[in-house]
Structure 1
Amino acid sequence: MALTLLIFLLVYVAMGFGKLPGFKVDRTGAAIVGALAVMVAGGISPKAAWESIDYASVGMLFGLMVVSSAFVVSGFYAWTAERVALLPVSAPVLLAVLVGVGGGLSALLTNDVVVVAMTPLLVSLTLARGLNPVPFLLAFCFAANTGSAGTLIGSPQNMIAAQQLGLSFNGFLAIAGLPALASLPLVWGIVALIYRGRWTLPQGAGAPGPDSAPAAPAVPLNRVETAKAGLVTLLVVAAFIFSDWPRELIALGAAGVLLINRQIASRDLLAHVDGDLLLLIMGLFVVNAAMAATGLPQELLGGLRATGLNLDDPLALYLVGGALSNIVGNNPAVMLLIPFLTPGQDAEALGAALALGTGFSSNLIVFGSLAGIIVVEQAAACGVKISFGEFARAGVPVTLACMAMAAGWIVLIAP
């Protein structure tokens, strides 16, 4: 038991710091090494470890990543970024459009893929207009995180929560969609207020440095492939809404359709699938199962209930999930909490609490979400620096406003 606990703690230290201190082992490496270690240490048998991996969650996430990748290779994201950035509108209006686009795309497609595809393009296009890229990148990132909280397919943590709690697409949307939509004006208003009068760069500031990587050339729009990806996406959403087919089979079937292609190589589609994230999730399933087998988490939760903190209360879960996601990351936070919930008639409220708590709180600091890390790192590669303080200066008020709004909503809908 002691060895399993030590391995568990080391894995989640790596989740919090982004790597295992003193080693070149990132989050994914820590999850995989941790899974192997608990098996070798006897904390869980290989058979039990394999069975602990929720293939339905992993399968649905993989399938939807392939669907989102189809929009990357067809040039849709590049086309969208260019059309939006070149609109003949003022900077505040352009910011509003980007917030709407970021939130909308992330609600229907995996938010991390959307951010990966569009960040370098937004940097180059805003610089070409003489604009300061920072407020536009931050608002796009914040909107991608909050907008994605509104649907079951908006983010990996939503998919995991929905699969584990048995939530329907319609039920999830009905209870999480409105606060996710309401978050977008808050994102726009706060970022616009903070950056008022600073829409353009000072002379020489923000220009790509000599060591910065040039932005990759935009993929030209393939209208046929974009239309195909769009049709498949609509069919996936329709199947989620109107059928009772297993969601993982719907997503995997859609991925199979898109991978069979005469114009685009399957390896090009699969290159945009976040394999590291899939491995991280699989490793954490094993590590968490080994920890649960010790009985320690159950004892801890029993003690917390005795003090009045009940994770089956949506508001308590919302606050704990939000705090935990800024310590270990939103996906690990959901995976830590889900096994210890006992949802009944309030399953949809608990799912919304997890999605909104982990989605809205992830804008607090750079490392609160994968989207935030992607934006900062890709912007730096293009020569635009977004410091920890710069991110937090906008992220803290955005997070506090969105969290307060969603807390009121959860109190209103909680049974």
Structure 2
Amino acid sequence: MDWLIVAVFAGVYFGMALGRWPGLAINRTGIAVIGALILLLAGAVNGGQALASIDFATLSVLLTLMVLSSQYAASGFFDWIGNRITHLDLTPRGLLAGVIMICGGLSAVMTNDVVVWAVTPILISGVIARGLDPKPFVIAVACAANAGSAATLIGNPQNLMIAEFGQLDFIEFLMVCSVPALIGLLTVYAVLVYGPMTRGALQQVERIAAGSDATAVLPDRPMLIKAVAATIAVILIFILVDERALWCLLIVAMLLLSRRLGTDQVLGRVDWHLLALFCGLFIVTGAMSGDDVIAGFFRDILITLHIDQPAVLVGLSLAGSNTIGNVPLVMMLLSLGPDWSQSMLHGLAVFSTLSGNFLIVGSVANIIAVEQAAKAGTVISFTDYARLGVPITLISLVMALGWMTLIS
């Protein structure tokens, strides 16, 4: 069955790179699920092996963060924060700085995908009302969300996997990775403000005073307080508790116990497609890593490439994140790679996340931002994004590489 495992693995990750299988209307989630089913039906893996390969701890924490984001959305927090951003009494450059700071900060304690999904439509309508081109602001939201999410273990899905794999310490991770995350945010601002592609789009226009929008609605205070308390609880769990998954699921249970929000409202915003994608990829990569010959072959290649060197890890992260995607890349490297030291895991988290800013396909957050912008009438082409994403990513990675090399 070795040949079948390799063939399915290659087919699934080929689909991850293209985003579909040619001639079929199927996305990455469907590809991963079909790949897992082929292995199960062919007997390449049995039910017990498939279940054992699924990292339920990572899925539990990811589900918790999704439910937590749902609580924030239901409270009206995202609508309110988006409205407040666009009505800041600032120049266009100041407004851009505010967008980057707020989106980056929120993404450090929530999943970056949710922040982009919630903020982008409101931001577009606000900047258009101010006579500004929304394109650089949409790209700023995506890039800032990616960069900010690199700072913590709960900022994005790949960091959650790395955290569970290495049982990393939350505070130590924050101390190491917040520096390149901050550098990434500053780089986003610098490229957008001083880059030749967007300098003219941020020309001075009439200001709109803070609080001038009479239609702004304040968040529901009790629901927002509950969401903030749950966020603090999740962070404390990551700092103080070893068995994080069960305690995080307890947070889910507490959020489900509500007099005002029905279960369907809380769970309706959960990205079940992403969870299914994870399950499929866990089974496919688990089959590869479970075969000693295949796993040993891949491990020898990565050792030969000296993956323990930060510069090599940067190259792999940049290439992999913008072909198969940063989540599948991280899952593959953790399953098939050599022994991972703590410093290597820190580097993988930072480099794979910052690499996601390179092209639209580099991160789910980028795709969400572009799709949300298109729905609002703002079309951002592959080239539009790349003109900003490429320099942002290369500068961020060089600076991050310098930092990680310095502290290693």
- Which TM-score bucket, shorter chain as reference? over 0.9
Cα distance in 1, alignment partners of residues 130 and 230 from structure 2: 35
2:325 counterpart residue number: 329
Cα distance in 2, alignment partners of residues 343 and 254 from structure 1: 33
Task: Say yes or no: does 1:199 pair with 2:196.
Answer: no
- Once the two structures are TM-superposed, the CA of residue 313 in structure 1 deviates from its matched residue by 3.5
- Once the two structures are TM-superposed, the CA of residue 240 in structure 1 deviates from its matched residue by 1.9
Is the 2:302–2:338 Cα contact (8 Å) retained in structure 1?
Answer: no
Is the 2:299–2:337 Cα contact (8 Å) retained in structure 1?
Answer: no
CA distance 1:130–1:331, change in 2 (3 Å): same
Unaligned runs of 5+ in 2: 205-214
Cα distance in 2, alignment partners of residues 259 and 219 from structure 1: 25
1:240 counterpart residue number: 238
Cα distance in 1, alignment partners of residues 45 and 237 from structure 2: 37
Cα distance in 2, alignment partners of residues 71 and 142 from structure 1: 22
Structure 2 SS opposite 1:24? coil
- Once the two structures are TM-superposed, the CA of residue 235 in structure 1 deviates from its matched residue by 2.1
Tell me the alpha carbon deviations over residues 371-405 of structure 1, each in whole angstroms, 9 at most, x when there is no partner.
10001111001100101100001101100110100
2:307 to 311, 319, 332: 311
Task: Say yes or no: does 1:340 pair with 2:336.
Answer: yes
1:221 to 191, 194, 219: 219
Structure 2 SS opposite 1:385? coil
Is the 2:314–2:397 Cα contact (8 Å) retained in structure 1?
Answer: no
1:356 to 350, 360, 369: 350
Cα distance in 2, alignment partners of residues 300 and 199 from structure 1: 48
Cα distance in 1, alignment partners of residues 319 and 59 from structure 2: 25
- Once the two structures are TM-superposed, the CA of residue 291 in structure 1 deviates from its matched residue by 1.8
Cα distance in 2, alignment partners of residues 125 and 267 from structure 1: 31
1:250 to 244, 247, 250: 247
Query: 1:60-71 to 2 correspondence within 5 Å?
Result: 60-71=61-72
1:283 counterpart residue number: 280
Task: Say yes or no: does 1:266 pair with 2:263.
Answer: yes
- Once the two structures are TM-superposed, the CA of residue 218 in structure 1 deviates from its matched residue by 8.8
- Once the two structures are TM-superposed, the CA of residue 12 in structure 1 deviates from its matched residue by 0.7
1:30 counterpart residue number: 31
Cα distance in 1, alignment partners of residues 147 and 35 from structure 2: 31
2:154 counterpart residue number: 153
Is the 1:74–1:220 Cα contact (8 Å) retained in structure 2?
Answer: no
Cα distance in 2, alignment partners of residues 248 and 50 from structure 1: 16
Tell me the alpha carbon deviations over residues 310-334 of structure 1, each in whole angstroms, 9 at most, x when there is no partner.
2234442333123211110110000
Is the 2:310–2:347 Cα contact (8 Å) retained in structure 1?
Answer: yes
2:386 counterpart residue number: 392
**Matched positions, count:** 395
Tell me the alpha carbon deviations over residues 132-156 of structure 1, each in whole angstroms, 9 at most, x when there is no partner.
1111111111010011011000000
Q: TM-score, normalised by structure 2?
A: 0.93
Structure 2 SS opposite 1:286? helix
Structure 2 SS opposite 1:221? coil
Task: Say yes or no: does 1:408 pair with 2:405.
Answer: no
- Once the two structures are TM-superposed, the CA of residue 200 in structure 1 deviates from its matched residue by 6.8
Cα distance in 1, alignment partners of residues 259 and 159 from structure 2: 33
CA distance 1:384–1:299, change in 2 (3 Å): same
CA distance 1:63–1:269, change in 2 (3 Å): same
Tell me the alpha carbon deviations over residues 252-281 of structure 1, each in whole angstroms, 9 at most, x when there is no partner.
111111111111222112122111111101
Cα distance in 2, alignment partners of residues 44 and 310 from structure 1: 31
Structure 1 SS opposite 2:241? coil
Structure 2 SS opposite 1:198? helix
Cα distance in 2, alignment partners of residues 339 and 314 from structure 1: 19
Cα distance in 1, alignment partners of residues 46 and 313 from structure 2: 31
Cα distance in 2, alignment partners of residues 405 and 264 from structure 1: 45
Q: TM-score, normalised by structure 1?
A: 0.91
Query: 1:378-389 to 2 correspondence within 5 Å?
Result: 378-389=372-383
Cα distance in 1, alignment partners of residues 8 and 338 from structure 2: 26
Question: What is the one-letter code of the residue matched to 1:331?
Answer: V
Unaligned runs of 5+ in 1: 202-216
- Once the two structures are TM-superposed, the CA of residue 72 in structure 1 deviates from its matched residue by 1.0
Cα distance in 1, alignment partners of residues 17 and 387 from structure 2: 21
